[in-house]
Amino acid sequence: MSNRQRGLPLGLLLLASQVFRIGTDNIPPATLVTLGLNVYLFLFPVKPLLQTCVSVQQAYWGGDWHRLLLSPFHHVDDLHLYFNMVSFLWKGVNLERRLGTAWFAYLLSVFSLLTGLVYLFLEAGLTELTDDSSFSVQCAVGFSGVLFGLKVVNNYYNPGGVKYIMGCPVAKRYACWVELVLIHILNPGTSFVGHLSGILVGLLYITGPLRTLMKICADFASGHGNSGRPRTYYNSSGYSGYGMPYTSTSSPYSRQGLYNPSHHPYTAGLTEQEQYDAAIRASLQDQGRMED
């Protein structure tokens, strides 16, 4: 904590240089807000670090469930914050543009909470299996668990290819597992179970159960009590812009996400790819009319 009292830490300076290099105009809103929240809570933490980290002892036994909300957004030091946020910037820009701001913000919220819950479940299970209570007192903090979940989702939407890890080519589909092991070997102080929890949450999403449940909840929330109003469509495949109903006066961000095929009059009987192609043509036609 003392490094926060000696002027602006190096990690924040490096992070600021990365943000200005990318340009705030090129960072979608949910990504930018999440980045800002992490930086703000590093400079002005809600509670001391030992009161924000999450563990079985504190959250489950002690009933301090607020830690599930606080732990992802607090960091040990400025370099911990820097490395997490630089990684998040790249993933956030790519995924938010694909999924849309509304769905991406929803995804971040669910992943942040669920990663902590899975972490508690795994640590409690290890305590029972090994009869070693030390697993229940291990306290995790930081955004890296969520980042591992986002890494799984990003690799799902960008399949194939390789990633170079320490100079060695690794297939993208296995990259998160290799990084999980390497990070723990090179830096034993990191939370192996916390990172594993993020991967498991990401797998729950891309394999269907979590994504389906999220869609059901989103449909219920957007349609409940608003039968006389247009419904907002949330589409995690990335075809629905930023989760906003398509109109010709949508913001520039909705233009980046193209068109919502659920609003197209000729979707019946078409495959998903055919609907997507039709949506693109309709979007281009609308843009042509706006330019005339």
C-alpha span between 270 and 75 (Å, rounded)? 48
In the set 112, 136, 144, 283, the catalytic residue is 144
178 and 170 in contact (C-beta within 8 Å)? Answer: yes
197 is catalytic: no
114 and 201 in contact (C-beta within 8 Å)? Answer: yes
For each of the domains in the chain, give its residue range(s) and CATH number, in order of start: 10-222 (1.20.1540)
3-class DSSP assignment, residue 247: coil
pLDDT tens for the chain, 292 residues: list them. Answer: 444 544 568 999 999 999 999 999 999 999 999 999 999 999 999 999 999 999 999 999 999 999 999 999 999 999 999 999 999 999 999 999 999 999 999 999 999 999 999 999 999 999 999 999 999 999 999 999 999 999 999 999 988 788 888 888 888 888 899 999 998 888 887 889 999 999 999 999 999 899 999 999 998 888 754 443 334 333 333 322 333 333 333 333 333 333 333 333 333 344 444 444 454 444 444 444 434 4
In the set 71, 75, 195, 236, the catalytic residue is 195
248 is catalytic: no
3-class DSSP assignment, residue 168: strand
Residue type, 214: M
State pTM to two decimals: 0.73
Instruction: Point out which residues pair with 54 in neighbouring strands.
Output: 140
